[in-house]
């Protein structure tokens, strides 16, 4: 068997469906950031184990959870409240031979769904995530959109983890990404101050998806016209237009998010220079 970890903050709307998708697991942990709605009550009703901690930033919060939550089993599936474990993924998890495996973590393919229920197959930028792992062999870096850093070889599981980022509507999505932009800009300013360098070779050719993504993001932040470049990349290169109006709309929203980061970074630089 495996343990399940679910991060929450005011997730009374999405948590019931998430818990239902992992009801086959006898060690479900809800890691809550002191929700003010019925999140904890819903978790208790589902017999989930509850741990609460005030949220500071993504990597610190996740690292604390992996180090302090008393998981029953050596392997953990980490999901968010707006995600669902598909039947195919459940089968793959139950068939996973922990005793024979040499890997310490496994990539899982995530399917992002638009507000109209359409799978954003082409518009989705990062389809694979390290969500199944040994907690003693995993750590995270970055304040937001954290990078997963496994201490050992990585495998891949079949089946999908289904994600519904617009389950709470466009307003929630935009508000959440405004807060993400604040943290992304803070990290950008920190990288600028430290003179952090990123490798083009690793960004293009690294076989480690996490390392590749880290260097791609770092180099991308140095490019002018990022919002427009991101839109072109998603719509033309990744063929988001093949996902219909939902795909092009999602690409536009992602470009707006990129512009949030640009504006927030300029604001922070201006404040720093005025001191």
pLDDT at residue 210, rounded to an integer: 67
Burial class (CB in 10 A: 0-12, 13-18, 19+), 118: middle
Q: Taking a C-beta distance cutoff of 8 angstroms, is the pair 102, 134 a contact?
A: no
- Please state the pTM of the whole predicted model: 0.90
Mean model confidence pLDDT for the chain: 93
- The better pLDDT of the pair 135, 217 is held by 135
Q: What whole-number distance in Å separates Cα of residue 208 and Cα of residue 75?
A: 21
Instruction: Return the SS3 of 220.
Output: helix
Pick the CATH number of 3-163 from 3.90.550.10, 3.40.640.10, 3.40.50.720, 3.10.440.10: 3.90.550.10
Confidence grade of residue 18 (pLDDT, cut at 50, 70, 90): very high
pLDDT per residue as tens digits for the range 161-220: 999 999 999 999 999 999 999 998 998 888 777 777 888 888 788 877 667 777 777 777
pLDDT score of 120 more than 90: yes
Q: In which residue ranges of the chain is CATH 3.90.550.10 found? A: 3-163
Q: Which of 99, 111, 145, 170 is nearest to 258 (CA)?
A: 145
pLDDT at residue 219, rounded to an integer: 78
Q: Which of 110, 122, 107 is nearest to 164 (CA)?
A: 110
pLDDT per residue as tens digits for the range 65-80: 999 999 999 999 999 9
What integer is the mean pLDDT of 251-263? 95
pLDDT per residue as tens digits for the range 52-68: 999 999 999 999 999 99
What integer is the mean pLDDT of 28-49? 98
pLDDT score of 153 more than 80: yes
């Amino acid at each position: 068997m495996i343990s399940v970890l679910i991060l929450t903050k005011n997730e009374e709307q999405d948590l019931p469906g998430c818990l239902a998708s992992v009801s086959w697991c006898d060690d479900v942990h809800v890691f809550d950031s002191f929700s003010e709605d019925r999140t904890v009550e819903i978790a208790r009703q589902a017999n989930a184990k509850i741990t609460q901690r005030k949220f500071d930033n993504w990597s610190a919060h996740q690292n604390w959870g992996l180090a302090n939550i008393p998981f029953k089993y050596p392997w953990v599936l980490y999901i968010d409240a707006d995600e669902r474990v598909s039947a195919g993924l459940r089968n793959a998890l139950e068939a996973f031979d922990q005793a024979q495996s040499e890997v310490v973590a496994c990539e899982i393919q995530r399917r992002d769904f638009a507000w109209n229920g359409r799978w954003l197959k082409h518009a989705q930028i990062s389809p694979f995530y390290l969500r199944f792992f040994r907690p003693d062999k995993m750590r995270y870096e970055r304040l937001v959109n954290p990078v997963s850093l496994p201490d050992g070889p990585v495998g891949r599981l079949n089946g999908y983890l289904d994600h519904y980022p617009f389950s709470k509507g466009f307003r929630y999505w935009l508000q959440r990404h405004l807060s993400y932009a604040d943290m992304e800009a803070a990290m950008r300013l920190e990288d600028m101050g430290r003179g952090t360098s990123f490798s083009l070779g690793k960004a293009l050719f690294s076989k480690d998806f996490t390392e590749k993504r880290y260097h791609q993001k770092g180099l991308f932040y140095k490019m002018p016209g990022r919002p427009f470049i991101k839109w072109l990349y998603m719509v033309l290169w990744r063929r988001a237009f093949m996902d219909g109006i939902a795909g092009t709309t999602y690409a536009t929203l992602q470009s707006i998010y990129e512009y949030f980061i640009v504006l927030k970074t300029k604001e922070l630089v201006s404040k720093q220079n005025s001191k």
